[in-house]
A and B are shown apart, each in its own frame.
Chain A
């Protein structure tokens, strides 16, 4: 019987690690807490520096992962217990009740059309509503609906039952309960990724105060053809196309009071978003307020130059001090300082402002680290103390890849994920 490996986190790093481990012949159990694999990359419209459609390149990997004979997906599930030592670990996985029989559900969506409960859509960064019975996004894998018990009136108070009535496949099961799976695993891979820091606490930047201030991930959704605005770049206050778009880098990052580190990817994605904005609105002009323009990967400098020369992107090295709503309730006033001896305070109006917040370890990661008895570093990422083995956590047999260990972009996460597969094989085949 082949050895089992548990991979925690179904983003691009977890998917790649699962695929490589499965191709090596291990039995992989991929645990993802949301109803679909895909992670953050699924939310992105396009990827820098080639502007490849993100889901178009990710989706085949998601499908390959779900269809792989050696991969067992545990979506809507969490690791809740671990005991033993490498290579004899016992991992307990809680599979949350989704109130849908997934072998019957065909993902047709009839239930979602009729469900009367509307709540903010997390996948759309709360820019639109979803139903209490939902597919997180159209390309979700597995393409099976989930009932959000917290909001479903049938489950909360026994009133409704519409989804069961309309489901022609007979897949709705209101009496489902959580279940538990215990696995004998040889190794565990942690690929829990990142969240956006809550930067509403930095009230000077106006998020949550000015309607036309959004986060960069919200802008990704707005730019996406399948997003809340159908791919039309419009601002919230009046639904108009912005003609002057601002980006603020390092919001909450490289900041002594919030997060000291650099999130690594924001310079490039802001550049990408500014290029995409021009492709949506031909007469838009973007300005990026930055500290250092960190474009160190393959093709990155050329990408920035292209933004500047061909897409009219203005790069200003300055950290805005203040953002206020503009007169009339639409747009924002950004106050910043110009450089040099003649530097002065300037207030400039923008139609819409995009904040690039610090990217922080996924909110479940510290608790998971405690459960797995692995250490965090000073910046609260999972600690990888060895130079020789940069994917090893502080505990043998528990490996780390992707953003969970340190900020990095997609290719670096993918490379590390494959590296994790090699490391698992080293540990299990040779005992290195």
Chain B
């Protein structure tokens, strides 16, 4: 027999002005296995908590039910209290009679009191069947792996080694720096990227903690947070790297036009990255037309690639700086120079004489080759007619697109991509550099196109996230996880498909195939339990038996209710 104590909270007037708290406490006393039931003005006050503790000791309680506010804010407090009095914290049950009762039924005190009674009866029924649970711990390999040696990955790796963490940087190419290695200065403040890349590579070279693997590809990833094994192929040689955390920084690439705007046919039609390379060689064209949103913000590739307007503004200013008599036009749909410095260079470009012309998706510019050279025909909305711009170069500002190998990387790590092939973070608002899977993080253009500044900040952010489990040395394994009953499991695999955390696999042992939950990865969401057709999957603290007892209690108290 369980020994249950029930404590009903007034929450000042919050609950007590609607619910008859004394009546609920009296009712609780009649419930099976309840040894004591009481009510407090504020259960969460020091006085309230003290009286719960005293009651546990005096009445030798082994389970506690508190009917009060929301577990979201107060469950940790009550769990800690019962634990201090010697009860396993998972043998505490919280019933919410404020948000679920008093606050929403203020005008019906009588039926609110009845509802509170039913909820308490359900809580007590479940509490009687609660079992002690224990959180586990797992060690963390004190090493990080960063995939991709562009600006985001380099920064992440440099940050980790600066934090004294062994870090393996895996770069597919034979050079570091990614896209940035082809760009001479970075905007909007015109700083030399070479200096930045030199600084980062020197930091890595100088540290015994850094292990850089050039011309290497990740071919396999096994394990879970704290205990990954990353296999790489380095010029035909296989190497296995044990790691506690993984950062994905595989970047993105510039989209190459498929013949649009004279690319490949009209001389002088080049991409932004082509222009970067020419400017780096010292070329200074005299007549340039930039066309923005080539291949982006249109059906099929709806997104804005965030960096192209700033790149054009930067390069327009560089051209005008060395040849002030140059003519530079930017044909755009909106100038995306958000923030302080970008807006500043937009203004500066206008002041220096860059001609800005807006075009609509319905009236794109036409690039052609005539006897007199390359011509861009564009509709001028102020003049309400087409005009011709004679030019030497037509710079096509194309978007950053996902790399073809993103899908492979995604598959190896079992992490998702969005519809454009960029990696999909755990939460777009509040978890920008994390995947839903613990221990795997992302940064830079692999997530979304971003400025150098943004990629650096994200690289550092991912490094912070990866450093946390490594510095702690241990990861906590949830107590409330799912477990499968080998005898009932038919190995149908429904749970494997349903699990959002890649925590379940079908294993074979002694001739029997069954679903096995990796408790390190399980978050206790319960999705697999619902998916299981054989009742084989059960979630600790929410078993079918416990939930069934709650329903039985509800039905019983409803039937006993005087109409």
Are B460 and A423 in contact (CB-based, < 8 A)? yes
Taking a contact as CB atoms closer than 8 A, the residue among A16, A302, A377 that contacts B302 in the complex is A302
Is A294 a contact of B338 with CB atoms below 8 Å? yes
Q: Are B73 and A422 in contact (CB under 8 A)?
A: no
Scoring A residues 282 to 298 as 1 if CB is less than 8 Å from chain B, else 0, what string do you get?
00000000001111111
Residue B41 lies at the interface, judged by CB distance under 8 Å to chain A: yes
Is A24 interfacial (CB-CB < 8 Å)? yes
The complex places the Cα of A61 from the Cα of B73 at a distance, in Å, of 11
Contact in complex: B464, A421 (CB < 8 Å): yes
B13 touching A260 by the CB < 8 A rule?
Answer: no
CB < 8 Å: which of A50, A67, A389, A407 contacts B429? Answer: A50
On whether the beta carbons of B465 and A418 are closer than 8 Å, the reply is: yes
Does residue A340 face the partner (Cβ distance < 8 Å to B)? yes
> What are 20 A-B contacts defined by CB distance under 8 Å?
A63-B73, A67-B76, A103-B46, A143-B73, A260-B344, A260-B347, A264-B338, A294-B336, A296-B305, A298-B422, A298-B448, A301-B302, A387-B189, A407-B338, A407-B339, A411-B428, A415-B461, A417-B461, A425-B464, A425-B471
Contact B12 A106 (CB under 8 A): yes
| A432-B382 CB under 8 A given contacts A260-B343, A293-B334, A298-B448 | no
A407:B336 contact, CB within 8 angstroms? no
What 7 pairs across the A-B complex have the smallest Cβ distances? A108-B12, A418-B461, A419-B460, A341-B384, A422-B464, A292-B334, A432-B162
Residue in A closest to B431 when the chains form the complex, CB atoms: A414
Report chain A residues within 8 Å CB of B341.
406
Interface residues on B, range: 35 or more
Q: Is B67 an interface residue (CB 8 A)?
A: no
Query: Shortest CB–CB separation between residue B178 and chain A, in angstroms?
Result: 16
Contacts of A12 in B (CB 8 A): 430
- Point out the residues of chain A lying under 8 angstroms from B338, CB to CB: 262, 264, 294, 296, 407
Give chain A residues whose Cβ lies under 8 Å from the Cβ of B335: 292
Find chain B residues with CB under 8 A from A184 CB.
Answer: none
Contacts of A296 in B (CB 8 A): 304-306, 336, 338
Q: A298-B447, A387-B189 are in contact. List 15 more A-B contacts (CB 8 A).
A: A59-B72, A61-B430, A104-B45, A143-B73, A292-B334, A298-B448, A302-B303, A390-B453, A406-B340, A415-B432, A415-B433, A422-B159, A422-B163, A425-B467, A426-B163
A 15-27 to B, binary, CB cutoff 8 A, 1 in contact else 0: 0100010011100
Q: Mark B317-340, 1 if CB is under 8 A from A, else 0.
A: 000000000000000001111111
The answer to the question of B65 belonging to the interface, with a C-beta cut-off of 8 Å to chain A, is: no
Q: How far is the CB of B439 from chain A (nearest CB, A)?
A: 14
A97 interface hit (Cβ, 8 Å) = no
**Which residues of chain A from 158 to 192 have any CB-CB distance to chain B below 8 Å in the complex?**
168-169
Tell me if B468 is interfacial: C-beta within 8 Å of chain A: yes
A103 to B337 alpha-carbon distance, docked (Å) = 49
Q: Is the CB of A299 within 8 A of B428?
A: yes
Partner of B72, one of A49, A60, A339, A419: A60
A418 (CB) vs chain B CBs: closest residue:
B461
Q: Confirm or deny: B297 has a beta carbon within 8 angstroms of a beta carbon on chain A.
A: yes
The docked-state distance in angstroms from the alpha carbon of A297 to that of B304 is 7
With both beta carbons as reference points, the residue of chain B lying nearest to A387 in the complex is identified as: B191
Residues of A within 8 Å of B518, CB to CB, are none
Any chain B CB within 8 A of the CB of A305? Answer: yes
Check B383 for interface membership: any CB of A closer than 8 A: yes
Residues of A within 8 A of B339 (CB): 261-262, 264, 406-408
Q: Closest residue of chain B to A266, judged by CB?
A: B338
| A400-419 contact mask (Cβ, 8 Å, vs B): 1 or 0 | 00000011101110111111
Take A50-B428, A415-B432, A432-B162 as given contacts and tell me if A24 and B189 are in contact as well, using a CB distance cutoff of 8 Å: no
A285 CB → nearest B CB, Å: 22
Residues of chain B contacted by A299 (CB below 8 angstroms): 303, 428
Query: How far apart sit A261 and B341, CA to CA, in the bound complex (Å)?
Result: 8
In the complex, what residues of B have CB within 8 A of residue A67's CB? 76
**Nearest CB to that of A167 among chain B residues?**
B12
Residues of B within 8 A of A416 (CB): 457, 461
Q: Is A379 an interface residue (CB 8 A)?
A: yes
Chain B residues within an 8 Å CB radius of A50: 428-429
Contact of A415 among B46, B186, B458 (CB under 8 A): B458
Minimal beta-carbon separation of A286 from chain B (angstroms): 19
Q: Are A108 and B428 in contact (CB under 8 A)?
A: no
Quick one: CB contact mask for B283-298 with A, threshold 8 Å, 1 for yes?
Answer: 0000000000000010
- For A292, A300, A414, A432, the residue with the greatest tally of chain B CB atoms inside 10 Å of its CB is A292
> Please, how many angstroms separate the alpha-carbon atoms of A52 and B426 in the complex?
14
Is A430 an interface residue when CB atoms closer than 8 A count as contact?
A: yes
CB neighbours of A169 from chain B (8 A): 41-42, 45
A1 proximal to B (CB < 8 A): no
Q: Known contacts A20-B465, A411-B429: does B12 contact A419 (CB below 8 Å)?
A: no
* A260→B345 CA distance, assembly (Å): 11
Interchain CB contact under 8 A, A387 and B384: no
Minimum Cβ distance to chain B for residue A287 (Å)? 17
On whether A387 and B422 interact (CB within 8 A), knowing A261-B340, A340-B381, the answer reads no
Contacting pair A24 B12 (CB below 8 A) = no
Q: Does B14 contact A (CB under 8 A)?
A: yes
In the bound complex, residues from chain A placing their C-beta under 8 Å from that of B336 are 292, 294, 296
Cβ A106 vs Cβ B382 within 8 A: no
At the interface, yes or no: A109 with Cβ under 8 Å from chain B?
yes
CB contact between B384 and one of A16, A61, A342 (< 8 Å): that residue: A342
- Which residues of chain B have C-beta atoms less than 8 A from A16's C-beta? 430
| A150 contact set on B, CB distance < 8 A | none
The answer, yes or no, to whether B454 is at the interface (CB within 8 Å) is yes
Chain A residues positioned under 8 Å from B13 (CB to CB)? 108-110, 113
* Pair A108/B196 contact, Cβ less than 8 Å: no
Q: Is A90 an interface residue (CB 8 A)?
A: no
**Closest chain A CB from B507 CB (angstroms):** 33
Task: Give complex CA distance A12, B189 in Å.
Answer: 28
Q: A108-B12, A301-B304, A377-B340 are in contact. Are A387 and B452 (CB under 8 A)?
A: yes
Residue A225 CB within 8 A of the other chain: no
| Chain B residue at smallest Cβ distance from A47 | B429
The reply to whether A168 and B428 form a contact with Cβ atoms under 8 Å apart is: no
Shortest Cβ distance from residue A45 to the other chain B in the assembled complex, whole angstroms: 14
Chain A residues, CB < 8 A from B363: none
Q: What residues of chain A lie closer than 8 Å to B452, measured between beta carbons?
A: 387
User: 1/0 per position for B127-141, CB-CB distance to A under 8 A?
Assistant: 000000000000000
Complex Cα spacing A340 to B415, Å: 48
